Each structure stands twice: as structure tokens, then as C-alpha cells.
Amino acid sequence: MALNPILLVEDNPDDEALTLRALAKNKIQNEVVVAHDGAEALARLFDGGTALRPAVVLLDLKLPKVDGIEVLRRIRMAPATELTPVVVLTSSKEEQDLVMSYQLGANSYIRKPVDFLQFTEAVRQLGLYWLILNEAPPR
């Protein structure tokens, strides 16, 4: 049985590499599809016959073209993606981002640890919970 992919929405190349490395280190088997801005993420999710149905979306908030808050809003508005788990994974320390993310239906909000070991552990726990323990709704 093929595993649904992870959609990583991240514009910072260093954070992208760190996330991919942490996922690999923790032996996460799901394919990771990377979108480098909000417009690309939306295209991946809503592009007709090739629309991605991820197991989880790891969403940065500070993105070019379309910010993460708007991406989250559109994910929750569309029947095809409204139940998709979305984990906001951001370096934002702004309280308004935290509150708005939850108001728009984020399943979790995680501030990126700066330290690689802490970040690897956070990704391990994310993978364990969202990809193994969590029971997703039927598609």
C-alpha cells in the first residue's frame, strides 16, 4: 500500500534541508513533496487531476507569493482538503500568527527549534504522531 506523501511548504533552503534530513534520520517512509512558496503549495493541492492528497501538510507561515495563513485558509475552505492535517511549522513568534492559525483550523502549531537535535526530535515526534498514531478521516 502506497503511503500518502508529506507536503512540506518551506521557502528557506536551509530549513528545507534540515527538515528533509530530520525526516530521513527518523526513517519516515512517506515521500516528501516540497513547495517553495504558497502559490506552489496551492497548485500542488488543487491542480485538477494531479492534485496531491498529503497525509499531512507541514506549513511555514512566512512565504513568498501567498503567505501560510492564506494557504491554510484555502485548505480549510475546500471540501477536498478541509480535513487534511495541517501542522504549522514556523519560526514566527508572533502571537497573532499562533491565534490565527488555530482560528483557521491548524491541527498543530510548532515553533522551529534552532538546534538540529531538538529539531530532529520534533520531526520524529511529528512523524510518529501524524503518520503512525493519528487515525485520519476517510478520503
Q: Which domains can be identified in the chain, with CATH numbers?
A: 6-130 (3.40.50.2300)
Provide the 10 A C-beta neighbour count for residue 86: 27
pLDDT of residue 8: 97
109, 102 contact by CB (below 8 A)? yes
Query: 3-class DSSP state for residue 80?
Result: coil
pLDDT of residue 37: 97
pLDDT of residue 48: 72
Helices and strands: H and E segment counts in the chain: 5, 5
Whole-number Cα distances in Å, 115 to 15, 64, 91: 11, 25, 12
Give the global pTM: 0.91
Model pLDDT for residues 2-57, shown as the tens digit of each residue: 678 999 999 999 889 988 988 888 888 899 999 999 999 999 999 876 788 999 99
Report d(CA 81, CA 92) in Å as an integer: 24
Model pLDDT for residues 96-127, shown as the tens digit of each residue: 999 999 999 999 998 887 777 888 888 888 88
Report d(CA 112, CA 100) in Å as an integer: 18
